[in-house]
Amino acid sequence: MRLACAIVLALTPFGALAEDYTEDEIVEIANDYGLDAAPLMLGGDPDYGAYLAGECTTCHQTSGSYDGIPVITGWDALFFKIAMHEYRAKQRENPVMQTIAARLGDEEIASLAAYFATLEE
Amino acid sequence: MTLNRRTFLGTAAAAGAALSAPMVKAQGTPRVVVIGGGAGGATAARYIAKDSKGAIDVTLIEPTRSYYTCFFSNLYLGGFKEMDELGHSYGGLAAGGVNVVHDWATGVDRDAKTVALAGGGRVPYDKLILSPGIDFVDGAVQGWDMSAQNAMPHAYKAGSQTELLKAQLMAMPEGGTFAMVAPPNPYRCPPGPYERVSMVAHYLKNNNPTAKIIVADPKGKFSKMALFQEGWNNHYAGMIDWIGSDFGGDVVEVDPAAMTVSIDGEVTKVDVCNVIPAMKAGMIAHAAGVTDGNWAPVNAADMSSKADADIHVLGDASQQGDMPKSGFSANSQAKVCANAVRGALTGSKVFPARFSNTCWSLIDTNDGVKVGATYEATEEKIAKVDGFISSTGETAEVREATYIESEGWYAGITADMFGAKA
């Protein structure tokens, strides 16, 4: 499934909604997390995500190795977006991530999610 | 003639930008030369080679075959890291397509666009990236010069100097005195001297508990001051005497032969003296003529030199605005620079600059603290957007989590600089 997702993203550089969820499912999940559903439905540009990811890869390893900072490669794009929106809303702890997320727009979060979903875990 | 050529390239670049399809590629594969294989240079070389996929010829000039990170070198002094753990080879960069040249860059001919090597020969470039780190300002501490670095090490470039300082620390007599002369702003790693004091105190508490630490500081305050002072009180009560500028810490003279330190006229015999002098951009930035005073002013949008559009300056050597001089900052700036250089040479998409930094420090076992911020490029400088800092009085669990996070960051940034460890 992850591979399929990567292929779809590779074929659609501006990230059409390459998700495995229906809109209704996303609305339901968004409610569970106390988040607005619309930003979670956005597709992202993996090229822009690759550039933005430079801000992540100082700490998070693209190899998927863990040495004290969580692995973020190969995540389902929807749950990547949820995590970032939670940090931005300060619903998730960690001042580094809250500060990084604070200046990311909805499309930037979607682009990061699209990019990291393409990396093998 | 050469001036015309530079002017022409500048105009072509400007025209290209206006059409938003820059293609100033000269004949053959464009050449990027990077001088300095630390957090700025290694990252820039790796990202340009990786993202250009062979469309740019990238050469990294770095004299040492093993790079020892200055960040985390204090943890070696405290006994939390081995020196081997701080060493990194350039094999991963070479495997990633970077032409790694182990030599000293001795000069830059900006008209001919070549870099001269100590070993002879010249390396031509279309874009030059300077990331030479720091050198010390001559005469910054009375009585000290580079010839005194064995008697009174700076240990502010990691490697043999750090090992020397550790050996001197371990050889201190019972109840002896460790002195530090701290640097004036701006300098590499603002919390670094104070993390070092913490790590020295940690070592002494366990091995030489009646020893003392004196810090002569030309500043009246310093990075994470409240956090360090709280930690020193909690862990090392009575051991550390910090003398700031309000109490004469800025009036210092050392005598490396006699092993004495004079602070505001009061002379003290010491067993170890760690002199961290005032700093300036590494030699090659001055040789290239892109410095103004001690540092190299740059444009925030792409880290290009204000003196030469085809030269970029990264990290500690640059004068960019609000970012602290840190490995994290250099790594962050390198990615913005790499994106801009690649765009200028191959026409790839250039995204707006964005920067971030976090500095972790260890005060004692599992007592980690951090400070960080995000930054943006303005016309004038790299400007701070938003930031955070650890609080005094945090729980042991929070402090331990912060330390674990710093370990993860070390693995992350070194993989980002050098490629994943083989």
pLDDT along chain B (422 residues), means of 10: 36 38 61 98 98 97 97 98 98 97 98 97 98 97 98 97 98 98 98 98 98 98 98 98 98 98 98 98 98 98 98 98 98 98 97 97 98 98 98 98 98 95 54
Inter-chain contact B407–A67, Cβ cutoff 8 Å? yes
- Whole-angstrom distance, CA of residue B141 vs CA of residue B275: 8
Inter-chain contact B405–A62, Cβ cutoff 8 Å? no
Asked if the ipTM is above 0.90, the reply is: no
- CA B77 to chain centroid: 18
In degrees rounded to 5, what are phi and psi of residue B342?
-60, -45
Residue B421 is predicted with a pLDDT of: 61
> Using H for helix, E for strand and C for coil, what is the string for B265-296?
CEEEECCEEEECCCEEECHHHHHCCCCECCEE
Question: Could you tell me the maximum CA-CA distance found in chain B, to the nearest angstrom?
Answer: 71
**Chain B: nearest CA to A6, how far in angstroms?**
18
Q: What is the DSSP string of B91-108?
A: HHHHHTT-EEE-S-EEEE
SS3 (DSSP) at B376: strand
Q: Is A62 on the interface with B (CB under 8 A)?
A: yes
Residue A19 is predicted with a pLDDT of: 57
C-beta of residue B114 within 8 angstroms of C-beta of residue B124: yes
Inter-chain contact B411–A68, Cβ cutoff 8 Å? yes
C-beta of residue B322 within 8 angstroms of C-beta of residue B375: yes
- Whole-angstrom distance, CA of residue A106 vs CA of residue A118: 19
C-beta of residue B162 within 8 angstroms of C-beta of residue B68: yes
- Whole-angstrom distance, CA of residue B211 vs CA of residue B136: 29
Q: What is the DSSP string of A76-88?
A: -HHHHHHHHHHHH
- CA B220 to chain centroid: 23
Instruction: Give contacts of B416 with chain A, Cβ < 8 Å.
Output: 57-58, 61
Residue A43: exposure state from Cβ atoms within 10 A (0-12, 13-18, ≥19): buried
- Whole-angstrom distance, CA of residue A94 vs CA of residue A68: 14
C-beta of residue A118 within 8 angstroms of C-beta of residue A77: no
Helix A23-33 crosses helix A77-88 at what angle (to 10 degrees)? 40
**Phi-psi label, residue B331: left if phi above 0, alpha if psi -120 to 50, beta otherwise:** alpha
- CA A118 to chain centroid: 11
Instruction: Tell me what the mean pLDDT of segment A67-95 comes to.
Output: 95
Is-cis flag, bond preceding B186, omega within 30? yes
pLDDT tens readout for residues A83-108: 999 999 999 999 999 999 999 999 99
Residue B330 is predicted with a pLDDT of: 98
Instruction: Give contacts of B372 with chain A, Cβ < 8 Å.
Output: 95-96, 99
Report the residue of A51, A73, A92 to disrupt the B interface, i.e. the one with the largest count of B CBs within 10 Å: A51
From B339, B385, B408, residue closest to A69, measured CB to CB: B408
Q: Is A71 on the interface with B (CB under 8 A)?
A: no
pLDDT at A11 exceeding the cut of 50: no
- Count Cα neighbours of B102 within 13 Å in the Cβ-side half-sphere: 9
- CA B225 to chain centroid: 20
Q: Is A63 on the interface with B (CB under 8 A)?
A: yes
SS3 (DSSP) at A13: coil
Instruction: Tell me what the mean pLDDT of segment A47-70 comes to.
Output: 95
Inter-chain contact B411–A57, Cβ cutoff 8 Å? no
From B332, B351, B416, residue closest to A51, measured CB to CB: B351
Inter-chain contact A96–B411, Cβ cutoff 8 Å? no
Nearest to B35 by CA among B114, B120, B138, B121: B114
Residue B420 is predicted with a pLDDT of: 73
Q: Residue B223 is encoded by which pair of tokens?
A: 């990075």
Nearest to B400 by CA among B375, B373, B372, B363: B363
Q: For chain A, how many helices (H) and strands (E)?
A: 7, 0
C-beta of residue B329 within 8 angstroms of C-beta of residue B191: no
Q: Is A31 on the interface with B (CB under 8 A)?
A: no
Inter-chain contact B404–A68, Cβ cutoff 8 Å? yes
Residue B217: exposure state from Cβ atoms within 10 A (0-12, 13-18, ≥19): buried
Instruction: Give contacts of B413 with chain A, Cβ < 8 Å.
Output: 58-59
**Chain A: nearest CA to B406, how far in angstroms?**
7
Inter-chain contact A96–B388, Cβ cutoff 8 Å? yes
Residue B6 is predicted with a pLDDT of: 36
Instruction: Report the 10 Å Cβ neighbour count for A31.
Output: 11
